[in-house]
Chains A and B, each alone.
Chain A
Amino acid sequence: MLDFHYTKIDGKSAIPIVDLYFKNPVNFIFTTKTDFAVIDTGSDVTVVSYTVISKLRVRPLPEPQQIHIKGFGRENIGIPYLVEAGFSNENYIYVKVFAIPDDILDGQVIVGRDILNNYVITFDDPNLVFTISD
């Protein structure tokens, strides 16, 4: 079980942010990690910056999709890629992530339900902590 604290950014309300590890499913030499992965239970899919994809050198999938990011009306096209992802560098799962330009996400990763549904996540909002377990 992994314990995390909520993170407060720029005076806004605290949000659940975690480290997220990625690796190339075919060639494990290519790995990367982000320390700004936002848990977003309202997101169907996981969205990453293009930089993550270019570091992993993973293979894309067909059917780019419209992604709504940061508010209604802000539509972007995301390219699907197959990666392995995990909250620790020991346990990974296969997942289809969507890549959009770095300028839009500013280095963030939006962790959607396609990843979250593989874990038991408990939010303790009053104490600003949350846990993730397999």
Chain B
Amino acid sequence: MTSDVIQGGDWAENIAKLLGSHYPDVPDKTLDITLATCSDVESSVDSNKCSENHQVTFAEIFNHTLPSSPKIIEFNSTIEHIWTIKQGTSLVDRDDAKISEAIFLMSDILDIYWNEFPTKTKVLLLDKLQIFNKSGWQFMLKLISQLPKTLKDVSFRYATYISEYNSLNRSTQEHLKQTAYTNSTSLIKSIWYLCNVVRKMLKKDGKLLKENQANIQNFTVDILSLIRQNSKNDAFQVNDEKVIHSFNCKGEPFSYNIKDLFWNPKAYDYIKEQEEIFGLCFPKLIKEYPDRYVIFENSEVIDSDSDEITLLGRISKNESYKDRPAIFCKLVPKNPKMNKVNA
């Protein structure tokens, strides 16, 4: 393993600062963090294999495990291409769609075959993901920040693989969750949280197995909640901090703030407050009201319906609800799709 410092420019430094400010107990250089992760892997699994890990391509891993298929071959070439992308290259010049597709494909393949992999393959794959973080860490985070929807999905799927979270003792789990809940305000930190779980998991005993469906479900709900909470005020944050740059009807540059679109300032504060409470209640909501619109206030669901407009019409006629400055109506997503994982 080399110890070269990755040249990521200002962007990498900013990420390092961001991570450092929220996770003071970890090194302030992104590369140091990822190198430490790789060291964890190295010390926890067969050292001979580990020394070769960095030379092992995805193609080689899959070729030893899975029957070859055009889809997998295509995936291999794409993912290896991503691996070799030089840092500092503008994302604009890249084929984002292809990259996203490859990431999804990777997730799908792991979804399908994960249970069939021998332990060492799992170790290699997870290590490969860590290497991806090492050689493409900045790229990965930038991708996260630029494609939040993609990343939510990736981080969600990634989380499902890390069922060993439940093998950690309760206090460690709580610590991780609390750290994430209290410190995280962005998706980037969600991902970092997940990586931290992996680190701690690998540091613990190096084992990557023994998951069960219920544990995965609990973990994914936790992670969904976390991601949801982290992204809860994305739109508000963007507009709190930044001005939206647009064009007026004459085609001239025109800027505005989202707050300007609330005739009642209390409504803005009300929605923001309820967004926060909604995020905290998300695990409960996703279990009790999957795929339903809910009228939510202060941890309670006042009414729910499968149709948003029907619900809004009904609540508008509700005398006891009329004095609210805003209507907090939101769709609770379906329960996360369960992987085919057995105990």
Q: Give CA–CA (A94, B312) in the complex, Å.
A: 8
Category for how many chain A residues contact B: 20 to 34
Q: Give CA–CA (A98, B325) in the complex, Å.
A: 17
Residues A75 and B313 in contact in the complex (CB < 8 Å), given A54-B263, A60-B262, A64-B258: no
Judge whether A82 and B249 touch: CB under 8 Å.
no
Q: Give CA–CA (A65, B330) in the complex, Å.
A: 13
For A50-75 the 0/1 string (1 means CB < 8 A from B) is 10011001011111110000100011
In the assembled complex, B261 has its CB within 8 A of some CB on chain A: yes
Binds A, one of B36-44, B179-187, B201-209, B267-275: B267-275
* Residue from the list B246, B267, B316, B322 in contact with A60, Cβ < 8 A: B267
Residues A53 and B313 in contact in the complex (CB < 8 Å), given A64-B235, A103-B248, A104-B246: no
Judge whether B308 and A79 touch: CB under 8 Å.
no
Judge whether B249 and A106 touch: CB under 8 Å.
yes
Which residues of A77-102 are within 8 A (CB) of B? Answer: 77-79, 82, 94-96, 99-101
Residues A62 and B258 in contact in the complex (CB < 8 Å), given A74-B246, A106-B249: no
Which chain B residues lie closer than 8 Å to A65 at the CB level? 235
Q: How many residues of B contact A (CB 8 A)?
A: 35
* Residue from the list B239, B263, B327 in contact with A77, Cβ < 8 A: B239
Judge whether B254 and A62 touch: CB under 8 Å.
no
Residues A76 and B246 in contact in the complex (CB < 8 Å), given A62-B329, A96-B309, A101-B254: yes
Q: Give CA–CA (A86, B272) in the complex, Å.
A: 31
Judge whether B249 and A50 touch: CB under 8 Å.
no
- Kindly provide the distance from the CB of B91 to the nearest chain A CB, expressed in whole angstroms: 17
In the assembled complex, A129 has its CB within 8 A of some CB on chain B: no
Judge whether B326 and A101 touch: CB under 8 Å.
no
For A16-56 the 0/1 string (1 means CB < 8 A from B) is 00000000011000000000000000000000001001100
Q: Give CA–CA (A26, B322) in the complex, Å.
A: 7
In the assembled complex, B113 has its CB within 8 A of some CB on chain A: no
In the assembled complex, A116 has its CB within 8 A of some CB on chain B: no
In the assembled complex, A121 has its CB within 8 A of some CB on chain B: no
Judge whether A104 and B254 touch: CB under 8 Å.
yes
For B218-238 the 0/1 string (1 means CB < 8 A from A) is 000000000000000001101
What are 26 of the A-B contact pairs (CB < 8 Å)?
A50-B260, A53-B261, A57-B264, A60-B327, A61-B328, A62-B271, A62-B275, A63-B235, A63-B330, A65-B235, A70-B247, A74-B246, A75-B246, A76-B246, A79-B262, A100-B261, A101-B246, A101-B254, A101-B256, A101-B260, A101-B261, A103-B248, A104-B247, A104-B249, A104-B254, A106-B249
- Known contacts A53-B263, A60-B268, A78-B261; 9 additional CB pairs below 8 A are A53-B261, A59-B267, A59-B327, A63-B330, A64-B239, A76-B246, A79-B261, A100-B261, A104-B254
Q: Report B's interface with A, CB cutoff 8 A.
A: 235-236, 238-239, 244, 246-249, 254, 256, 258, 260-264, 267-268, 271, 274-275, 308-309, 312-313, 316, 322, 324-330
